[in-house]
Amino acid sequence: LGVISLFFIWEIAKHHNNKKRSKLPPPPPAIPGLPVLGNMLQLKEMKPFKTFAKWAEEYGPIYSIRTGANRMVVLNSATVAKEALVTRHSSISAKKLSNAVTILTAGKIIAMSDYNEFYKNAKRNLLNSILGANVQKRYRFLRDDMIDGIYEQLLAHSRDAHTSEKAVDFRAIFQTELFRLAMKQDLGEAVESLYVEEFGKTLSIDEIYKILVVDPVKGSAAVDWREFFPYLKWIPNRAFTERLQQLVYKRRIVMEEIIRQQKQHLAAGSVTKSYLQHLLFEADFALSDEELMILVWESLVEADTTAVAAEWAMYELSKHPQIQ
């Protein structure tokens, strides 16, 4: 009787699961790959968007890929991306971060945070301090200064006999001015140089940009092979970990010195209102020193995202002179 009862329970459970499964939409098409490795060898580029776009032409705007033991769904159109990120945001709000991003962000940045209280509080204060419509109007003059700076650099390039016939490196121009804008919004002023005792030297704005933006962005793309084979995660990957920890150390030292100096300037009343000032004195939730540092750094590092977008916009404009 016991065996018969178990059999009936098993059949009922199987029927229930099949019925439940039948209500789900069909899975997206899977890109053919290799056993064990999946599609890893097909994704050799640092930014494989070209490969994704090519696959979308054959498999449609939604498909899945496999990297080792991990399966991911790729969205390749603005429509489906908007549906996932806006309409169905709650269903994807728990984000699985790569090991590199986890080390670099400590899980404390808004863009990579789960939809929890920290995310809601941090996002609200970011909007209230620098991204809200009213704040953007108030600080329009900062963006005007940035535009003037970009214009002056482009003009200097065209007037210089050594460079006037060469292609313009828009990214180099944009990233410098965008970083200055980010610092003015986040810190109240552009830090053109910074003495760091631990390094024993004064950093230029370009060196600050490299430590705070360029190196972490590159580091976030670092691959830890253990992510593809979770059953081997117990094996240490010392080279990967040490490399990322070195980036984190340099960023922390520079950010701590910047925040220390800006606190002094705020106390002396020598800088304007900023994101840092808001988080220190007006934020409506408690922040640890690490959270404060990470949130300010996140806003600074976004200068790279904007620079890439501007670079692509200029590239597209250059290909279509009729709309310039």
- Judged by DSSP in three states, 275 sits in helix
Please, what is the average pLDDT of the chain? 83
pLDDT, position 170: 77
Residue 210: pLDDT over 80 = yes
- Architecture of 96-323 per CATH? Orthogonal Bundle (1.10)
Residue 323: pLDDT over 70 = yes
Q: Which amino acid is at 80?
A: V
Residue 17: pLDDT over 60 = no
Residue 129: pLDDT over 60 = yes
Q: Which of 167, 178, 171, 170 is closest to 205 using CA atoms?
A: 178
Residue boundaries of the structural domains of the chain: 1-92, 96-323
Average pLDDT over residues 161-180: 77
Q: How far apart are CA 18 and CA 293, in angstroms?
A: 50
Look-up: residue for tokens 């220390």?
260
Q: How far apart are CA 60 and CA 209, in angstroms?
A: 39
Using one digit for the tens of pLDDT, what is the confidence trace for 237-264? 999 999 999 999 999 999 999 999 999 8
pLDDT, position 153: 84
Confidence of residue 200 (pLDDT cuts 50, 70, 90): very high
Burial per residue of 29-45, b for 16 or more beta-carbon CB atoms within 10 angstroms, e otherwise: eebebeeeebbbebbee
Residue 119: pLDDT over 50 = yes
Neighbouring C-beta atoms of residue 227, cutoff 10 Å? 17
Average pLDDT over residues 280-309: 86
Average pLDDT over residues 209-231: 88
Q: How far apart are CA 160 and CA 89, in angstroms?
A: 50
Confidence of residue 51 (pLDDT cuts 50, 70, 90): confident
CA distances to 139, 142, 171, 172, 269 from 310, rounded to whole Å, are 20, 17, 8, 11, 34
